[in-house]
Homo-oligomer: A and B are copies of this chain.
Amino acid sequence: MTSAYDLSDGRRLRADRARQVADVLRCQIGRGAFESGVLPREERLVAEFGTTRNAVRDALDLLRAEGLIERLPGVGTVVTATGKVPHGLHRLLGLGETLHEHGEIVNEVRASGLITPPPAITSRLELPDDSPVVYLERLRRLNGVPLSLDQTYLEPELGRALLKEDLVHEDVFVLIERLKGPLGRAELSVEAVNADPHSAAVLEAPRGTATLLVERLTHLADGRPVDLEFIRFRGDRLTLRGTLHRSL
């Protein structure tokens, strides 16, 4: 038995050890394990992980590059203020609903109006090929910092009514339910995509930043699809959390 992370007779690379340490620390940060927001000192981490000081330093460098931690003179290594917020995969919720404990969501409406979309959009919304839809594009900020860029395609009758509502402060889900009654299910896909230069600039994130790209088709309780969204979350600001079961 090795007493450390250093398996494989010392042949294990420093970079492999650093990744391992970084992943455990990232997970602890995400779970709020460092109550004061201050990470343990390097010597302590070296002892806890049973690895080299270089591997610990490299791990901290990786997390700093991800924007999760920073070094404060006289304090040590601290979790950055913006941090990551959790978004549940348990239930279909809008961002404002999900994050009300974490602060205020304010949306900047970048575009809105009736458009003629491609068949790829009308077919998902089960509309005739030549049907218009309402398009809505919002940059969503949590406590003033960009969290996501959302492109939304809405069934036209619902969409027209929705454009008269308070799109700056309200979730689309809340507005749909007010106008049309309860939502049912949503199918979603989740991908990791490097932001293109313009999207990164809009999100105020570094060039090429990793984004969580969520495509989500939401149905009313009666099964009608009404809301197709393409959501780009800044990877450094959000974690999706859920539970899976082995048997259905």
Interface residues of A (CB under 8 A from B): 1-5, 7-8, 12-13, 15-16, 18-20, 22-28, 30, 33, 48-50, 62, 65-66, 84, 86, 89-92, 110-121, 132, 135, 137, 151, 173, 182-194, 196-199, 208-213, 215, 221, 230, 233, 235, 238-248
Instruction: Evaluate whether A246 and B183 lie within 8 angstroms (CB atoms) in the complex, with A7-B113, A113-B7, A210-B211 already known.
Output: yes
Known: A48-B118, A116-B50, A210-B210. A1 touches B192 (CB 8 A): no
Contact at A111–B8, with CB atoms within 8 Å?
yes
Judge whether B248 and A20 touch: CB under 8 Å: no
How distant is the Cα of A1 from the Cα of B13 in the complex, in angstroms? 60
Contact B24 A116 (CB under 8 A): no
B210 touches A193 (CB 8 A): yes
How far, in whole Å, are A59 and B63 apart by their CA atoms in the complex? 31
Inside 8 A of A117's CB, which chain B residues have their CB?
A: 5, 49
Complex Cα gap A137–B12 (Å): 11
Q: Say yes or no: A246-B194 contact (C-beta < 8 A), given A27-B120, A116-B4, A215-B27.
A: no
Q: How many copies does the complex hold?
A: 2
Q: Are A191 and B120 in contact (CB under 8 A)?
A: no
Give A161 Cβ to nearest chain B Cβ, in Å.
16
The listed residue (B2, B110, B116, B241) touching A115 by CB distance below 8 A is B2
Q: Which B residues touch A248, using CB under 8 A?
A: 90-91
Q: How far is the CB of A224 from chain B (nearest CB, A)?
A: 14
Which residues of chain B are near A90, meaning CB under 8 Å? Answer: 244, 248
Residues in B with CB closer than 8 Å to A230 are 23-24, 27
Whole-angstrom distance from the CB of A172 to the nearest CB of chain B?
13
Q: Out of B13, B26, B91, B212, which one reaches A198, CB within 8 Å?
A: B13
Q: How far is the CA of A198 from the CA of B62 in the complex (A)?
A: 11
The interface residues of chain B lying within 8 Å CB-to-CB of A199 are 19
Contact of A245 among B7, B185, B241 (CB under 8 A): B185
Task: Find out whether the CB atom of B19 lies under 8 angstroms from the CB atom of A196.
Answer: yes
B1 touches A111 (CB 8 A): no
